[in-house]
């Protein structure tokens, strides 16, 4: 068994890491603050040939596999670029896969070189307001009219739609058959015709540098030659892009964790309290070591998932059976790989901004901390303004965030310290972030955790005292009245 990377994989890690680190943390802060697409970052990656990492060499790419793409995206995230850096590059790697695998030769010659050079900016239109995980529920419809398809419908969460010039679009070309719900959808690689597509930006906190949008498609005409693969089989073609993408998203989360851990370790070494660096204390050192072990384990799981995915013995295809067309055998083999990648996802990430330069975290800072962690499903973030005032936010990106006080009383933490953050304000910032970035959460009932100093019972209140006095006076009056009665 050999866990070593090949020489060329080591080179990829080194070169991508070096290139990504030429873009500082301040660069990402600024891009996120201004919600500005990182065009110069993408251009640097295009100029150095990285955008075409998985595109075959005959179309100008490097023809490498998922493992190499995973290593590249890990290094981008580990540089501190977070989701703002990996999303744009990621978009050149996975959405084009169905084109590479199922596109016609003419289509590949026409479009793939532009993707490699970065001239073609792609959007990916699958999710709809009522069809996320259950893709079979999409209602965007393509009707054949002569030699063209005419598309009408609506998509949501469409990344890059502000400046895309092509879109990989999934539309229904026949009604949903409950017996075969995933059939009857077709993939198109269409011109992003802004006469027929209206784009509405989704405002969000986090990954603000990369736009998310709703798009409204009104009679978009697509020529027959822009159909990708077989009509009615679009969902199956899409899986070739979605499955490896899951592996890569897992390792992106690991990269973000590495960046967080690096900063934490650096701070633990620099911060001196009671004449020694705080990292000498076990309560600081052990969680850092634990985080490193988890990151290493998660990285190994992701790379194993990539290796399983690329194993040639899994690559033959199943044919048509009595139950209808089967998923390719490779697809059926993937859940194991997928689970491994998701385990990578699920690791806890910890980032302490406590006295690490975020002296007074404001709302954008909090959002940024979360944005930099949003590749991880479970998040534990500590935010603070001084050693006497800090709060912990923990929870899951999917389920929302809860806030905990780590120690001490609310009185001390939130009322007597003028530099402290008001709890309600921070809670709201987190909730707004979670709501804005995760559209499906409309159904979630947001429960604001009631973290307040317990109030005295009502019997201790002035109202209770007065009520008691009135009751006693009433009783005396009644007694006198009763005595005086003849």
Where do contacts with ligand FAD occur on this chain (CB under 6 A)? 124-127, 132-133, 157-159, 207, 212, 398, 437-438, 440
- Give the long-range contacts of residues 357-362, CB within 8 A, separation 24 or more: 358/383, 358/384, 359/385, 360/385, 360/419, 361/385, 361/421
For residues 401 and 446, give the distance between their C-alpha atoms in angstroms, rounded to a whole number: 9
* Distance of closest approach, residue 31 Cβ to ligand FAD, in angstroms: 16
Strand partners, 395: 379, 401
* Distance of closest approach, residue 105 Cβ to ligand FAD, in angstroms: 27
For residues 311 and 66, give the distance between their C-alpha atoms in angstroms, rounded to a whole number: 11
* Distance of closest approach, residue 39 Cβ to ligand FAD, in angstroms: 18
Residue number, 212 or 243, with CB nearest to ligand FAD: 212
For residues 166 and 148, give the distance between their C-alpha atoms in angstroms, rounded to a whole number: 17
* Distance of closest approach, residue 392 Cβ to ligand FAD, in angstroms: 24
Residue number, 384 or 400, with CB nearest to ligand FAD: 400
For residues 167 and 136, give the distance between their C-alpha atoms in angstroms, rounded to a whole number: 19
Q: Which residue is nearest to ligand FAD (CB)?
A: 132
Q: Compute how many other C-beta atoms are within 10 angstroms of the C-beta atom of residue 402.
A: 16
Residue number, 56 or 129, with CB nearest to ligand FAD: 129
Residue number, 159 or 352, with CB nearest to ligand FAD: 159
Residue number, 159 or 243, with CB nearest to ligand FAD: 159
Collapse the DSSP code of 394 into the 3-class scheme (helix H, G, I; strand E, B; otherwise coil) and give the result: strand
Local structure of residue 137 (DSSP, 8 states): G
Question: Pick from 336, 318, 313: which is nearest to 243 by CA?
Answer: 336
For residues 168 and 381, give the distance between their C-alpha atoms in angstroms, rounded to a whole number: 36
* Distance of closest approach, residue 242 Cβ to ligand FAD, in angstroms: 9
**Letter string b/e over residues 310-324, b meaning 16 or more CB atoms within 10 A of that residue's CB:** beeebeeeeeeeeee
Residue number, 237 or 354, with CB nearest to ligand FAD: 237
Residue number, 205 or 284, with CB nearest to ligand FAD: 205
């Amino acid at each position: 068994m050999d866990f070593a990377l090949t020489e060329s994989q080591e080179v990829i890690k080194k070169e991508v890491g070096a290139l990504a680190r030429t873009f500082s943390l301040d660069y990402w802060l600024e891009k996120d603050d201004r919600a500005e697409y990182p065009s110069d970052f993408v251009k640097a990656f295009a100029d150095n040939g990285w955008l075409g990492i998985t595109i075959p060499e005959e179309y100008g790419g490097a023809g490498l596999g998922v493992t190499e793409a995973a290593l590249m995206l890990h290094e981008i995230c580990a540089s501190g670029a977070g989701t703002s850096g990996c999303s744009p590059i990621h978009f050149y790697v996975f959405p084009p896969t169905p084109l590479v695998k199922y596109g016609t030769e003419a289509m590949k010659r026409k479009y793939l070189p532009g993707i490699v050079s970065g001239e073609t900016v792609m959007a990916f239109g699958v999710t709809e307001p009522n069809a996320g995980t259950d893709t079979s529920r999409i209602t965007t419809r393509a009707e054949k009219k002569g030699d063209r398809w005419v598309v009408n419908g609506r998509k949501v969460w469409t990344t890059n739609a502000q400046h895309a010039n092509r879109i990989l679009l999934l539309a229904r070309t026949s009604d949903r058959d409950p017996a075969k719900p995933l059939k009857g959808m077709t993939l198109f690689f269409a011109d992003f015709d802004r006469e027929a597509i209206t784009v509405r930006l989704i405002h969000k906190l986090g990954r603000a540098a990369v736009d998310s949008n709703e798009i409204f498609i009104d009679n978009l005409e697509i020529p027959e030659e822009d159909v990708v693969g077989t009509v009615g089989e679009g969902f199956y073609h899409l899986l070739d892009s979605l499955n490896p993408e899951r592996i890569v998203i897992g390792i992106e989360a690991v990269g973000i964790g590495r960046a967080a851990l690096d900063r934490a370790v650096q701070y633990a070494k620099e911060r001196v309290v009671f004449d020694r660096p705080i990292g000498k204390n076990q309560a600081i050192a052990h969680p850092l070591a634990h985080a490193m072990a988890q990151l290493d384990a998660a990285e190994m799981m992701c790379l194993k998932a990539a290796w399983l995915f690329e194993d040639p013995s899994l690559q033959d295809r199943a044919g048509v059976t009595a139950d209808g067309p089967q998923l390719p055998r490779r697809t059926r083999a993937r859940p194991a790989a997928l689970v491994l990648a998701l385990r990578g996802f699920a690791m806890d990430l910890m980032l302490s901004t406590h006295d690490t330069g975020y002296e007074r975290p404001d709302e954008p800072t909090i959002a940024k901390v979360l944005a930099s962690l949003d590749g991880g499903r479970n998040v534990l973030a500590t935010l603070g303004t001084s050693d006497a005032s800090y709060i912990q936010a923990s929870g899951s990106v999917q389920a929302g965030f809860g806030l905990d006080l780590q120690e001490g009383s609310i009185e001390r933490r939130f009322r007597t310290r003028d530099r402290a953050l008001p709890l309600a304000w921070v809670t709201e910032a987190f909730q707004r972030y979670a709501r804005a970035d995760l559209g499906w959460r409309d159904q979630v009932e947001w429960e604001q955790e009631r973290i307040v100093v317990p109030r005295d019972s009502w019997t201790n209140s002035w109202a209770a005292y007065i009520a008691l006095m009135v009751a006693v006076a009433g009783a005396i009056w009644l007694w006198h009245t009763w005595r005086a009665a003849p």
